[in-house]
Structure 1
Amino acid sequence: MKLRTFGLVTAIGLTFSAGAYAENCLDGCPTGDNNGQTITRPIYTLKNNAKTKFADWVAYHVTQSTISGPSRHRDWKTDPDLNSANTLSPSDYKDAHAVIHTDRGHQAPIASFSNSPDWEMTNYLSNITPQASDLNEGPWARLEGAVRDYVKQGHDVYVVTGPLYESYFATLPDSSKTATIPSGYFKVIAEKQADGVHASAFIMYQDAGRSDNYCASEVTVSQVETKSGLDFMPQLSSSASYEMKHSLGGLTKQLGC
């Protein structure tokens, strides 16, 4: 079995013990349901859900060194560190775009790691969900672009994104597995500044219009916690956490709203 070394960390494969790449999460990765497998890689950490076949959340750190690389191709692959029964394969997406009008939507976006040597890991299907094309190519893409625009100004930004299952959306038309397609998505964007952590959160749904303004989907971090059942930044002090999570718009202006 091949050993891979990243800096001072050596492990077998790419599934690491907790803390091996803690820099993917700001003040701790989300906590909540303990079921499922957590995988930490150089550019993201995710928690796979064997029942839905998608990640409950994906956490990643966007910096000036990870963005602004060349255009990268989308070469979809089954996650090599997950049991094949617990995730999807490329064939499960057959006819999805034609029938239910979805893209293979990245949770950790490929453009945010186009300058990383590990960018291909964004194409593992554990980091993908069937996302409505108008959402994926419209307000969701513009919000991800706003994050990168802010990072270009010299900022380090931490993001956690994931699915919501509040209603039925669709079924993959030609999949050999039963997968629960999300009805919507959340994105929590945070930065550690001199006076503490500032964060903005957004929730968008699969019926979003391509021209929708992502700013109109901003909510509090606390609202995302209620809908997702997750606790974000669990290592943050309780007083700082309460103020940040219940305040709207910690990074509103920075994200172009």
Structure 2
Amino acid sequence: MRNLQRHLAIACSMVSAAAYADNCLMECPAGVNNGKTITRSVYTLKNNATTKFADWVAYHVTTKTISGPTRKRNWKTDPSLADGNTLEPSDYKNAYATIHTDRGHQVPLASFSNTPDWAQLNFLSNITPQSSALNQGPWNKLENAVRQYVKSGHDVYVVSGPLYESYFASLPNTDKTHTIPSGYFKVIAEKSGSTVKASAFIMEQTAGRYDDYCDTEVTVNEAEQRSGIDFMPGLSVIDEPETEGTLGGLIAELGCS
């Protein structure tokens, strides 16, 4: 009976994953060789054991994943990672009081509130210490803009991750070696027929709460150069210059003029 229950649990998990596990557009990101890749029903990420944060997370937002009930932020250490390769909840103690950071989701909880695996968004592998002004300001507004576009009947693929271009701060209550990001990238893409449209944004940890996310758009190429990551390695050489080398791909769809 125990073996039967185990097999049923695995089968249910596979069905759940099959419903949502299409996390990457034009293949998952490439270019960061260290660390462990974890694929779950709601995202794929590449963990970095040195920084203690994911180098990138990839996820697919659809009308079926959003608009669920409000979900709790019950932080947990990622069970798929060794203790020394990620952080635990106590490592964030006093972070807000001393360095003014939130536990910022790289894959937003609200974008998967209608999925059965939403709690996996609270694993600390998907979290970074993100400036409160950034997290609650322009970063949050961009994530809301993505969901608003999806509500109109579209679905988009997103890759988010950290940049390490300058020193920002250190967590005050951990003895684990770590590196807090100085900023973040977010690349939003949509495929219609054979056409891929994409817009990239880079925001700094020093951003103001009322900054306009529209002003942070960069080309996908710039985001790739600064992060060292190829976001869509399966994109053809014919489509790459138009999709990744120009501004404005999805900017109007995301609420920017």
Into which bin does the TM-score normalised by the smaller protein fall?
A: over 0.9
Describe the SS at the equivalent of 1:182. Answer: coil
Which letter maps to 2:103?
R
Matches within 5 A, 1:76-95: 76-95=75-94
- Native 8 Å contact 2:133 2:209 kept in 1: yes
The answer to whether the aligner puts 1:122 opposite 2:127 as a matched pair is: no
Q: Which runs of 4+ in 1 moved over 3 A?
A: 1-10
Other-structure match for 1:136: 135
Structure 2 counterpart of 1:199:
198
The answer to whether structure 1 residue 229 and structure 2 residue 234 are counterparts is no
Deviation per residue, 1:221-247 (Å, 9 max, x gap):
000000000011111111112221001
Query: What pairs up with 1:101-250 in 2 under 5 angstroms?
Result: 101-194=100-193, 196-250=195-249
Q: Does the aligned pair in 2 maintain the 1:22–1:28 contact within 8 Å?
A: no
Matches within 5 A, 1:245-256: 245-256=244-255
- TM-score by length of structure 2 reads 0.93
- Inter-CA distance 6–105: structure 2 relative to 1 (3 Å threshold): farther
8 Å CA contact 1:203–1:224 kept in 2: the answer is yes
Structure 1 residues 226 and 48: alpha-carbon distance in aligned structure 2, compared to 1, 3 A threshold: same
Asked whether the 8 Å contact 2:32–2:55 carries over to 1, the reply is: no
1:5 deviation in Å?
3.2
Unaligned runs of 5+ in 1: none
| C-alpha deviation, 1:195, in angstroms | 5.0
Aligned counterpart in structure 2 of residue 5 of structure 1, from 4, 10, 24:
10
Name the CA distance, whole Å, in 2 between partners of 1:8 and 1:41. Answer: 10
| CA pair 179-234 structure 1, distance change in 2 beyond 3 A | same
Q: Which amino acid aligns with 1:254?
A: E
CA distance 1:6–1:230, shift in 2 (3 Å): farther
Normalising by structure 1, what TM-score? 0.93
| CA RMSD, Structure 1 to Structure 2 (Å) | 1.9
Higher helix share: 2
Give the counterpart letter for 2:10 in structure 1.
Answer: T
The DSSP-based 3-state class of the residue aligned with 1:58 is strand
CA distance in 1, matches of 2:13, 2:227: 34
Letter in 2 for 1:99: T
**Contact 2:21 2:40 (C-alpha < 8 Å) held by counterparts:** no
Q: Residue 25 of structure 1 aligns to which amino acid in structure 2?
A: C
> Cα 1:63–1:140, aligned 2, differ >3 Å: closer, same or farther?
same
Q: Distance in 2 between matches of 1:57 and 1:133?
A: 20
**Paired AA for residue 193 in structure 2:** A
Gaps of 5+ in 2: none
The alpha carbon displacement at 1:251 in A equals: 0.2
Counterparts of 2:108 and 2:39 in 1: how far apart (Å)? Answer: 16
The 2-side partners of 1:102 and 1:8 are apart by 34
**Residues in 2 aligned to 1:80 and 1:69: alpha-carbon distance in whole angstroms:** 25
CA distance, structure 1, for counterparts of residue 145 and residue 89 of structure 2: 29
Q: Percent identity?
A: 66
Number of aligned residues? 250
SS of 1:254's equivalent in the other structure is coil
